Amino acid sequence: MTLFVVARLRALFLFALIFGFAAVTFSSQSHAAGALAIGKCAAYGQAFDYPTEAAARAAATAKCKGNCTVVTMKRACAALAVDMSNPCGAHGYATAPRISSALNSAMRKCYSFGGKECVIRAWVCDARG
């Protein structure tokens, strides 16, 4: 084989590798919507990796008991913290690009609303969170 043929084969291999990586990346982004529904007394519902935010919202709402507030996310995470000394009392929730940030923010909000023994009740990340 000549040097030209070897260089051409390497370029073709590199192109195929990049094309394959791009196909996997774009196909996983199509399912990148999630939701966390928050209800009274530590009720919640969660949904992740849905094709649309509306579908994720509907799935999370269906799993939550009572009148629930829904937080949607796209390529992110959400967390819910509740006060275990009074589950019907203080709570906090947050969304963030990373799970650690969502967990920390939810805990801080729970304590700032008067929680005494706040714990993480639920968390969810979509395909990219």
Q: What is the layout of strands, in order, in the sheet containing 33-38?
A: 44-50, 33-38, 69-74
Structure tokens at 26: 């774009």
Q: Supply the range of the domain harboring residue 86.
A: 31-125
In this structure, the answer to whether residues 23 and 39 fall within a common structural domain is: no
pLDDT at position 24: 47
26 and 56 together in one domain? no
Instruction: Check residue 26 and give its pLDDT.
Output: 47
Instruction: Answer yes or no: do 26 and 36 share one domain.
Output: no
Do 103 and 47 sit in the same domain of this protein? Answer: yes
pTM (two decimals): 0.72
- Count the domains in the chain: 2
64 and 99 belong to one structural domain: yes
* 8-49 tens-digit pLDDT: 656 555 545 555 554 444 444 456 789 999 999 999 999 998
- Over the stretch 47-101, which tens digit does the pLDDT of each residue have? 998 999 999 999 999 999 989 999 999 889 999 999 999 999 999 999 999 999 9
**Are 73 and 60 in the same domain?**
yes
Residues 12 and 40 in one domain: no
Co-location of 18 and 39 in the same domain: no
Tell me: do 41 and 90 sit in the same domain.
yes
Same domain (yes/no): 64, 13: no
**Is the sign of the CA dihedral 44, 50, 52, 55 positive or negative?**
negative
